[in-house]
């Protein structure tokens, strides 16, 4: 009965929280000399663009519940890179946030948007 409300809360809370990490990257993308880490070897700018998409653009679609399963793949992939590549040698406390986001977006991917979404209209 409350699963649809729980999905709405999960979509909004995880996505809004993720956007607080994506917004500074969006600003950095449009700065004069953007630089970013290159953990998977595709270049700094392409990596930054993908991070902005996964952490700022995709969460907007997840919040409104539009193609939620598809758009949740992007933060999942980004959090896999953050948790298991970027922070691989770091202590658990440093990678914990990425792993929590990963778990949240996996739940959203598996459960879908729920009743309160554009997907269900």
Mean pLDDT of each 10-residue bin along the chain, 121 residues long: 93 98 96 91 95 98 97 98 95 95 98 92 71
Buried b vs exposed e over 5-14: b needs ≥16 C-beta within 10 Å?
eebbebbbeb
Domain ranges of the chain: 3-111
In the block, tokens 């298991």 appear at 84
Q: Given this model, what pLDDT does residue 12 score? A: 97
Cα separation, 77 vs 72, in Å, equals 9
Cα separation, 11 vs 59, in Å, equals 8
């Amino acid at each position: 009965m409350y699963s649809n409300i729980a999905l709405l809360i999960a979509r909004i809370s995880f996505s809004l929280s993720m956007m607080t990490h994506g917004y500074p990257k969006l600003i950095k993308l449009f700065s004069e000399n953007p630089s970013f880490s290159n953990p998977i070897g595709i270049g700094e700018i392409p990596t930054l663009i993908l991070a902005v998409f996964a952490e700022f653009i995709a969460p907007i679609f997840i919040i409104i519940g539009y193609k939620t399963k598809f758009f949740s793949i992007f933060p999942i992939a980004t959090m896999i890179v953050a948790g298991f590549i970027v922070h691989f040698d770091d202590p658990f406390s440093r990678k914990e946030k990425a792993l929590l986001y990963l778990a949240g977006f996996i739940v959203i991917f598996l459960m879908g948007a729920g009743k309160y979404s554009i997907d269900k209209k």
